[in-house]
Amino acid sequence: MSTSPAAGLLARQLKQMQTDKDIPGISCGLADNNIFEWEVMLMINDECKFYGGGFFRARLSFPSEYPHLPPKMKFETPIFHPNIYPSGEVCISILHPPEEDKYGYESVSERWSPVQSPETILLSVISMLSGPNDESPANVEAARLWREDPKEFRRRCRKNVRESLGDE
């Protein structure tokens, strides 16, 4: 039985992420023994003022057309953030298909390209946690609090951190 080019690439990328010690705070493995479904754990360092100290579980779901099309990423641990839908699905430019943005908000260069990898996705998501884009929010309430009530926004984020540690 032959494997698809996408499966072979994902197997190599997973192995690299599991053996690369230069990527602190990220742990990846297969979900249901399926190379197209990855379980991810992001252990956020204390430099991230909103989610520092949290352990957030997520899932990367890769299409069979990978790397030509992006995966989807969904947090399984609740996380309150302007760029994460209440369902947990992540909304970040590099996970949008490589096509013209019909709303003219993103340039093609900001969107998915085959040079991206699971590592660059996860590093971008960690960066997004520290610096949300509130101009095009997936979670309108989170974006509103981020702008108008930073103290309440931080309180909600810290609650997510405690929940991620099983303290709630």
Cα Rg, the chain, nearest whole Å: 16
Q: Along the chain (168 residues), what's the average pLDDT of each consecutive run of 10 residues?
A: 82 92 86 96 90 96 95 97 97 82 61 89 93 89 95 96 86
- DSSP H helices, the chain, are 5-19, 118-130, 140-148, 150-164
Q: How many domains does the chain have?
A: 1
Nearest CA-CA partner of 133 in 72, 91, 97, 95: 91
Q: How far apart are CA 44 and CA 36, in angstroms?
A: 24
Q: What pLDDT was estimated at residue 145? A: 96
48 is catalytic: no
* pTM for this entry: 0.90
Question: What range does the domain containing 58 cover?
Answer: 5-164
Which CATH number fits the domain that encloses residue 61?
A: 3.10.110.10
